[in-house]
Structure 1
Amino acid sequence: FSPALISRLSSPHEPVAPSSNTDDIVRRRLAAESAHLRSQEAEILHSISAALEKENLDREKPGMSSQVLGRDIEEIREKVERMKEKKNNESEGVKLARQSVEQCYLANEDKPLDCWKQVEAFKTEVAKLEQAFVKSLQ
């Protein structure tokens, strides 16, 4: 007999069943698929948490806080008050000129043409007010 055959027969190895080889292949494939699914799950969880974090940051933007909105409202109120005061101060001359025109018309009901000086003064005051308004817009 050949020495290879004798050593093979004398070795204590048990014959390998073909089913155990198949089982190993299936186990390896299952482990690989399981690892792949775990990595996909981790990626999905990461993307979901990133999206939620971005959404929370968008909600917490400084432009949306109640304190900032309160300050903006207060600034707008102050601007409105300043505009009212400015309007009242600027139109004081117009008010006086209008009152003088009204008084002149009431005093000269039968001769309204005598009030041309007061009308010209009123027109001048209105023109000044218009010019000031246009300058404030520039």
Structure 2
Amino acid sequence: MGASQSRSDAPDEKVFQNETPISFSPNVVNQLSDRQEATETTPERQSILDGHIRARIRDELEHLRRDEEVVRQEIEQALEKENLDRETSMAGKASEGDGTQAGDVRNSAALLGDLEEVRAKIEKYQSNKKIPEYPEVEQSGNAVAECYKKNKAAALDCWPEVTKFKASVDRLEQAYFRSL
């Protein structure tokens, strides 16, 4: 039915004839034929391709870094919410019996207890640090440090102090192993 309308008839074609002859130099013809035969890419094209690939990789890396940052923030928010919910539920259990609002008081009391525990540990560490358990090792170690400070350009001059330090450490190790 409508097939005759969609066909194009040949008499409607127009053909133009070139009146000026076109000729190419042998160099152009050779270059085009060499490019057609060569399957490898030219260095210029390869550098353009490499640059394009590098740009796409950089873009993808930046996209992945942004996604990673978003995921990290979501995880941190979820952990904060979970910890807050846990603390609130613990505070609620502690205040059920007395009828007071001990949520903040409970958390503050726990934090103060933790703070006191940390202070006690620091004081214990400081007191242990002040009382040398092995004065011979400490003295020989200080002597080595002083010698190195005095002889920055000629550190090999400190060999007698280093030898004394090694000997004191050896004596300490032997005493330790004998006590086991």
Does TM, normalized by the shorter one, top 0.5? no
TM-score (norm 1): 0.39
TM-score (norm 2): 0.30
Choose between structure 1 and 2 for higher RCO, CA contacts under 8 A separated by at least 6 residues: 1
From the two aligned structures, give the one with the greater helix fraction: 1
Larger Rg: 1
